[in-house]
Amino acid sequence: MSEFNALVVGASQGIGLGFVQHLLQRPQIQMIYATYRSPDSATGLLALAAQYPERVSCIVVDITQEGQIAACCQQILAEGHLLHWVINCVGILHEGELQPEKGLRQLKAEPLTRYFQVNSIGAALWAKHLLPLLKHGDRSLFATLSAKIGSIGDNHLGGWYGYRASKAALNMFMRTASIEYRRRSPQTIVVTLHPGTTDTQLSKPFQRNVPPDKLFSVDRTVTQLLTVLDGLHKEDSGQFFSWDGSRLPW
Protein backbone atom coordinates (compact mmCIF):
# COMPACT_ATOMS: atom_id res chain seq x y z
CA MET A 1 0.00 0.00 0.00
CA SER A 2 1.57 3.29 -1.11
CA GLU A 3 -0.44 5.70 1.01
CA PHE A 4 -3.08 5.64 3.73
CA ASN A 5 -5.30 8.68 4.18
CA ALA A 6 -8.34 9.24 6.35
CA LEU A 7 -11.28 11.64 6.36
CA VAL A 8 -13.19 12.40 9.54
CA VAL A 9 -16.49 14.15 8.82
CA GLY A 10 -17.84 16.22 11.72
CA ALA A 11 -14.48 16.50 13.48
CA SER A 12 -15.02 19.80 15.30
CA GLN A 13 -15.83 18.28 18.69
CA GLY A 14 -17.09 15.14 20.44
CA ILE A 15 -16.41 11.72 18.98
CA GLY A 16 -15.18 13.10 15.63
CA LEU A 17 -12.45 15.15 17.29
CA GLY A 18 -11.54 12.07 19.34
CA PHE A 19 -11.04 10.11 16.10
CA VAL A 20 -8.67 12.75 14.73
CA GLN A 21 -6.64 12.62 17.96
CA HIS A 22 -6.42 8.81 17.87
CA LEU A 23 -5.68 8.56 14.13
CA LEU A 24 -2.79 11.00 14.61
CA GLN A 25 -1.18 8.37 16.84
CA ARG A 26 -1.05 5.93 13.91
CA PRO A 27 2.11 6.74 11.94
CA GLN A 28 0.96 4.78 8.87
CA ILE A 29 -1.77 7.38 8.30
CA GLN A 30 -0.26 10.11 6.18
CA MET A 31 -3.02 12.68 5.87
CA ILE A 32 -6.10 13.16 8.01
CA TYR A 33 -8.70 15.34 6.37
CA ALA A 34 -11.15 16.70 8.94
CA THR A 35 -14.36 18.61 8.27
CA TYR A 36 -15.97 21.21 10.49
CA ARG A 37 -18.74 23.79 10.14
CA SER A 38 -17.59 26.78 12.11
CA PRO A 39 -14.34 27.76 13.86
CA ASP A 40 -16.38 28.60 17.01
CA SER A 41 -16.91 24.93 17.93
CA ALA A 42 -13.70 23.66 16.29
CA THR A 43 -10.99 25.28 18.42
CA GLY A 44 -9.50 21.92 19.48
CA LEU A 45 -9.43 20.66 15.89
CA LEU A 46 -7.92 23.85 14.49
CA ALA A 47 -5.24 23.77 17.20
CA LEU A 48 -4.35 20.19 16.16
CA ALA A 49 -4.15 21.25 12.52
CA ALA A 50 -1.81 24.10 13.50
CA GLN A 51 0.32 21.63 15.48
CA TYR A 52 0.45 18.98 12.70
CA PRO A 53 0.14 20.98 9.44
CA GLU A 54 1.62 18.12 7.39
CA ARG A 55 -0.88 15.56 8.66
CA VAL A 56 -4.17 17.35 9.46
CA SER A 57 -6.04 19.30 6.81
CA CYS A 58 -9.31 20.98 7.80
CA ILE A 59 -12.11 21.60 5.29
CA VAL A 60 -15.37 23.46 5.93
CA VAL A 61 -18.42 21.31 5.16
CA ASP A 62 -22.00 21.76 6.27
CA ILE A 63 -23.47 18.33 5.63
CA THR A 64 -26.77 19.82 4.45
CA GLN A 65 -24.97 21.49 1.51
CA GLU A 66 -24.25 18.95 -1.23
CA GLY A 67 -22.04 21.46 -3.05
CA GLN A 68 -19.70 21.59 -0.04
CA ILE A 69 -19.54 17.78 0.15
CA ALA A 70 -18.70 17.60 -3.57
CA ALA A 71 -16.11 20.39 -3.26
CA CYS A 72 -14.41 18.62 -0.33
CA CYS A 73 -14.11 15.39 -2.34
CA GLN A 74 -12.84 17.30 -5.37
CA GLN A 75 -10.21 19.06 -3.24
CA ILE A 76 -8.87 15.74 -1.91
CA LEU A 77 -8.75 14.29 -5.44
CA ALA A 78 -7.06 17.46 -6.76
CA GLU A 79 -4.38 17.08 -4.09
CA GLY A 80 -3.67 13.67 -5.59
CA HIS A 81 -4.94 11.67 -2.62
CA LEU A 82 -7.26 8.70 -2.29
CA LEU A 83 -9.00 7.73 0.95
CA HIS A 84 -8.70 4.53 2.94
CA TRP A 85 -10.85 5.36 5.95
CA VAL A 86 -13.81 7.71 6.11
CA ILE A 87 -15.57 8.10 9.45
CA ASN A 88 -18.70 10.26 9.46
CA CYS A 89 -19.44 11.50 12.98
CA VAL A 90 -22.06 14.13 12.13
CA GLY A 91 -25.36 13.96 13.98
CA ILE A 92 -27.85 16.08 15.88
CA LEU A 93 -30.15 15.19 18.74
CA HIS A 94 -30.84 18.77 19.83
CA GLU A 95 -30.01 22.02 18.06
CA GLY A 96 -31.26 25.33 19.45
CA GLU A 97 -35.07 25.09 19.49
CA LEU A 98 -34.91 21.57 18.10
CA GLN A 99 -35.38 19.10 20.94
CA PRO A 100 -36.23 15.39 20.84
CA GLU A 101 -40.00 14.89 20.93
CA LYS A 102 -41.59 13.06 23.88
CA GLY A 103 -44.93 12.46 22.12
CA LEU A 104 -46.91 12.82 18.91
CA ARG A 105 -48.27 16.20 20.00
CA GLN A 106 -44.79 17.69 19.67
CA LEU A 107 -44.22 16.57 16.08
CA LYS A 108 -43.67 19.33 13.53
CA ALA A 109 -42.64 18.95 9.91
CA GLU A 110 -39.76 21.41 9.93
CA PRO A 111 -37.76 19.99 12.87
CA LEU A 112 -38.42 16.46 11.59
CA THR A 113 -37.04 17.48 8.20
CA ARG A 114 -33.94 18.92 9.89
CA TYR A 115 -33.25 15.57 11.61
CA PHE A 116 -33.40 13.79 8.27
CA GLN A 117 -31.29 16.40 6.48
CA VAL A 118 -28.45 16.18 8.98
CA ASN A 119 -28.67 12.61 10.30
CA SER A 120 -29.68 10.67 7.17
CA ILE A 121 -29.43 12.50 3.84
CA GLY A 122 -25.97 13.97 4.48
CA ALA A 123 -24.40 10.52 4.83
CA ALA A 124 -26.08 9.31 1.63
CA LEU A 125 -24.66 12.29 -0.25
CA TRP A 126 -21.20 11.53 1.13
CA ALA A 127 -21.60 7.94 -0.16
CA LYS A 128 -22.41 9.41 -3.59
CA HIS A 129 -19.39 11.74 -3.76
CA LEU A 130 -16.84 9.54 -1.99
CA LEU A 131 -16.96 6.66 -4.44
CA PRO A 132 -14.03 7.82 -6.65
CA LEU A 133 -11.88 8.37 -3.53
CA LEU A 134 -12.64 5.02 -1.92
CA LYS A 135 -12.42 2.99 -5.14
CA HIS A 136 -8.87 1.68 -5.48
CA GLY A 137 -6.94 -1.53 -5.09
CA ASP A 138 -6.60 -1.38 -1.28
CA ARG A 139 -9.16 -2.09 1.42
CA SER A 140 -11.21 0.99 2.19
CA LEU A 141 -13.84 1.78 4.76
CA PHE A 142 -16.78 4.16 5.05
CA ALA A 143 -18.21 4.12 8.59
CA THR A 144 -21.02 6.37 9.79
CA LEU A 145 -22.04 6.85 13.39
CA SER A 146 -25.65 5.83 13.86
CA ALA A 147 -27.37 5.03 17.16
CA LYS A 148 -28.92 1.93 18.69
CA ILE A 149 -32.02 4.03 19.21
CA GLY A 150 -32.42 3.93 15.42
CA SER A 151 -32.95 0.16 15.57
CA ILE A 152 -36.60 -0.56 14.75
CA GLY A 153 -36.42 -4.07 16.23
CA ASP A 154 -34.96 -2.74 19.48
CA ASN A 155 -37.50 0.07 19.96
CA HIS A 156 -39.42 -0.76 23.13
CA LEU A 157 -39.48 2.69 24.72
CA GLY A 158 -40.81 5.03 22.00
CA GLY A 159 -40.25 8.79 22.00
CA TRP A 160 -37.56 10.79 20.19
CA TYR A 161 -39.42 10.28 16.88
CA GLY A 162 -37.22 12.41 14.64
CA TYR A 163 -33.87 11.20 15.97
CA ARG A 164 -34.92 7.53 15.93
CA ALA A 165 -36.47 7.68 12.48
CA SER A 166 -33.57 9.64 10.98
CA LYS A 167 -31.06 7.08 12.32
CA ALA A 168 -33.23 4.21 10.97
CA ALA A 169 -33.22 5.98 7.59
CA LEU A 170 -29.45 6.43 7.87
CA ASN A 171 -29.06 2.69 8.43
CA MET A 172 -31.17 1.96 5.35
CA PHE A 173 -29.21 4.47 3.22
CA MET A 174 -25.90 2.90 4.24
CA ARG A 175 -27.14 -0.66 3.80
CA THR A 176 -28.33 0.24 0.31
CA ALA A 177 -25.09 2.07 -0.48
CA SER A 178 -23.10 -0.97 0.69
CA ILE A 179 -24.83 -3.11 -1.93
CA GLU A 180 -23.99 -0.65 -4.72
CA TYR A 181 -20.40 -0.24 -3.43
CA ARG A 182 -20.00 -4.05 -3.45
CA ARG A 183 -20.60 -3.88 -7.19
CA ARG A 184 -18.77 -0.64 -8.04
CA SER A 185 -16.00 -0.61 -5.41
CA PRO A 186 -15.66 -4.16 -4.09
CA GLN A 187 -12.82 -3.38 -1.65
CA THR A 188 -14.92 -0.86 0.29
CA ILE A 189 -16.59 -1.82 3.55
CA VAL A 190 -19.64 0.33 4.40
CA VAL A 191 -20.96 0.12 7.98
CA THR A 192 -22.95 2.00 10.59
CA LEU A 193 -21.82 2.07 14.23
CA HIS A 194 -23.47 2.61 17.61
CA PRO A 195 -20.86 4.35 19.80
CA GLY A 196 -22.60 3.78 23.15
CA THR A 197 -23.70 6.71 25.30
CA THR A 198 -20.73 9.05 25.24
CA ASP A 199 -20.03 12.19 27.22
CA THR A 200 -20.36 14.90 24.56
CA GLN A 201 -22.49 18.00 24.13
CA LEU A 202 -25.02 15.84 22.24
CA SER A 203 -25.79 13.62 25.24
CA LYS A 204 -25.16 16.23 27.97
CA PRO A 205 -28.81 17.19 28.63
CA PHE A 206 -29.85 13.51 28.86
CA GLN A 207 -27.10 12.04 31.02
CA ARG A 208 -28.93 12.21 34.37
CA ASN A 209 -30.37 8.68 34.22
CA VAL A 210 -27.32 7.07 32.67
CA PRO A 211 -25.36 4.95 35.19
CA PRO A 212 -21.71 6.13 35.36
CA ASP A 213 -20.38 2.82 33.96
CA LYS A 214 -22.66 3.23 30.90
CA LEU A 215 -21.44 6.74 30.09
CA PHE A 216 -18.23 6.46 28.08
CA SER A 217 -15.57 9.13 27.73
CA VAL A 218 -14.83 10.13 24.13
CA ASP A 219 -11.44 8.48 24.51
CA ARG A 220 -12.98 5.16 25.52
CA THR A 221 -15.60 5.28 22.76
CA VAL A 222 -13.03 5.98 20.06
CA THR A 223 -10.72 3.22 21.35
CA GLN A 224 -13.62 0.75 21.26
CA LEU A 225 -14.83 1.82 17.82
CA LEU A 226 -11.30 1.63 16.39
CA THR A 227 -11.07 -1.97 17.64
CA VAL A 228 -14.33 -2.71 15.79
CA LEU A 229 -13.16 -0.95 12.60
CA ASP A 230 -9.74 -2.63 12.63
CA GLY A 231 -11.42 -6.04 12.79
CA LEU A 232 -13.87 -5.56 9.91
CA HIS A 233 -13.80 -7.81 6.84
CA LYS A 234 -15.39 -7.44 3.42
CA GLU A 235 -18.29 -9.70 4.49
CA ASP A 236 -19.16 -7.19 7.25
CA SER A 237 -20.09 -4.51 4.75
CA GLY A 238 -23.71 -3.41 5.07
CA GLN A 239 -23.97 -4.25 8.78
CA PHE A 240 -24.82 -2.20 11.88
CA PHE A 241 -22.32 -2.72 14.72
CA SER A 242 -22.36 -1.79 18.37
CA TRP A 243 -19.30 -0.44 20.22
CA ASP A 244 -18.42 -3.95 21.46
CA GLY A 245 -18.37 -5.43 17.96
CA SER A 246 -21.75 -7.16 18.29
CA ARG A 247 -24.30 -6.86 15.46
CA LEU A 248 -27.41 -4.80 16.16
CA PRO A 249 -30.88 -5.66 14.86
CA TRP A 250 -32.32 -3.39 12.19
CB of 73 to ligand NAP, least distance (A): 15
**209 makes contact with ligand NAP (CB under 6 A):** no
Taking the least distance from each CB to ligand NAP, the nearer of 4 and 163 is 163
Stretch near ligand NAP under the rule CB under 6 A, chosen from 123-131, 175-183, 191-199, 226-234: 191-199
Contact 16, 10 (CB under 8 A): yes
Taking the least distance from each CB to ligand NAP, the nearer of 74 and 184 is 74
Taking the least distance from each CB to ligand NAP, the nearer of 4 and 145 is 145
Q: What is the DSSP letter of 90?
A: -
Choose among 123, 229, 133: nearest CA to 177: 123
Stretch near ligand NAP under the rule CB under 6 A, chosen from 131-139, 197-205, 227-235, 242-250: 197-205
Q: What is the DSSP letter of 238?
A: T
Q: What is the DSSP letter of 95?
A: B
Using CB under 6 A, which residues numbered 47 to 76 contact ligand NAP? 62-64
Distance CA 140, CA 149 (A): 27
CB crowding 178-189: b at 16 or more within 10 Å, else e? beebbeebebbb
70 half-sphere exposure, CB direction, 13 A CA radius: 3
**89 makes contact with ligand NAP (CB under 6 A):** yes
The CA angle 163-62-184, to the nearest 5 degrees, is 85
**14 makes contact with ligand NAP (CB under 6 A):** yes
**123 makes contact with ligand NAP (CB under 6 A):** no
Taking the least distance from each CB to ligand NAP, the nearer of 38 and 246 is 38
